[in-house]
Structure 1
């Protein structure tokens, strides 16, 4: 049990909190958000709630799509829904929006880096996909779409609807789309190398 907590559950929770911090930084940067956060912000504007709470509402709604896709949630799925949104809301209460454009870009780039760090913490835990990634996997399994196509469909839909709802789309949105994947990969590799040094044993990336 202690091994499960230390190596899987605690890194998972820390990763989700770090991701929430990343979302808060990008909101305060006001230079564009990730596709799903564009949707969360737009939805929140219409519901009169913050982006984090809108993310929580979205997670519950998206989980309903798992039923026809025959996907089953795991502990990581539930914690993803419950932790990231409230974490973002907490950090938004303590982080003010910078006026200086250099600081705004620092917030944006720092947010991308923290998203990658958060991913490198929770992905190796293998405790279930997040609600949104589950839809991507479900489309892949049910309709035999490639993962790339499934992800493109899901994120494009979130981006378009979010934009129509008034979510923030900008240069930062493009930067996240192009830069997050490689940054996540680099952080996963860094985590693997660190684990190998500490344990003296080969480690897998995921």
Structure 2
């Protein structure tokens, strides 16, 4: 099983063409990703697995959610070493922007009142998270730490994105729950649906690269 994004080093990513469009997809995707994360957290019905882990760490360490997000991102980068995932501009901006966007959204996003509003936050956040995740990955400027773990394992195992992403989500959710993160039925819904949604959307929003750079290591 292959993924529709090229495996390029940082310099090859910059030389791959269509830069303005790719940069706009990258920035919009990362900012939207952070906002989507906070929608899921505010739903109160169970956040995405990585956010359960982040919330657990934030509660345990008294860091802000955004600071804990960045801490997790940096820690996950260490896991890239054995799978030899290649970083890029998207990797750096992911660490810088996602946590910032999540914190900024938290300051303006109202608390939902009633189950219908909570469900709206959950479903809207799930679809938005999958879309913005695929959008920034499809810019082909390198993965963020968490998605790099996914794409690296997809390449190594040959398993579909849905299978690899779901396995990661389950392991991370359990770890976050043990640290005090909030787990609900939404966590299960996200763990089951996010991988297939990203797998469906990614080929549709990926920006094609110049033939000169496509496929280079």
Query: What is the TM-score with the length of structure 2 in the denominator?
Result: 0.77
Q: Quote the residue 1:204 is aligned against.
A: none
Q: How far apart, CA to CA, are the structure 1 residues paired with 2:31 and 2:97? A: 7
- Aligned to 1:33, the other structure's residue is in SS state coil
Q: Quote the residue 1:136 is aligned against.
A: 150
Q: Could you tell me how far 1:190 is from its partner in structure 2?
A: 6.6
> Which structure exhibits the higher relative contact order, with contacts defined as CA atoms closer than 8 Å and separated by 6 or more residues?
2
Q: How far apart, CA to CA, are the structure 1 residues paired with 2:124 and 2:155? A: 34
Tell me, yes or no, if structure 1 residue 178 matches structure 2 residue 178.
no
Q: Could you tell me how far 1:136 is from its partner in structure 2?
A: 3.3
Structure 2, gaps ≥5 residues long: 1-13, 208-217
Q: Could you tell me how far 1:159 is from its partner in structure 2?
A: 1.1
Q: Could you tell me how far 1:188 is from its partner in structure 2?
A: 5.1
Q: Could you tell me how far 1:69 is from its partner in structure 2?
A: 3.2
Query: What is the TM-score with the length of structure 1 in the denominator?
Result: 0.80
RMSD: 2.6
Q: Quote the residue 2:88 is aligned against.
A: 74
Q: Could you tell me how far 1:27 is from its partner in structure 2?
A: 1.2
Q: How far apart, CA to CA, are the structure 1 residues paired with 2:194 and 2:159? A: 20
Q: Could you tell me how far 1:191 is from its partner in structure 2?
A: 5.1
> Per the alignment, do residues 98 and 81 of structure 1 end up closer, same or farther by CA in structure 2, a change over 3 Å counting?
same
Structure 1, gaps ≥5 residues long: 196-206
Q: How does 1:40-59 map to 2 (within 5 A)?
A: 40-59=54-73
- Normalized per residue, the structure richer in helix is 1
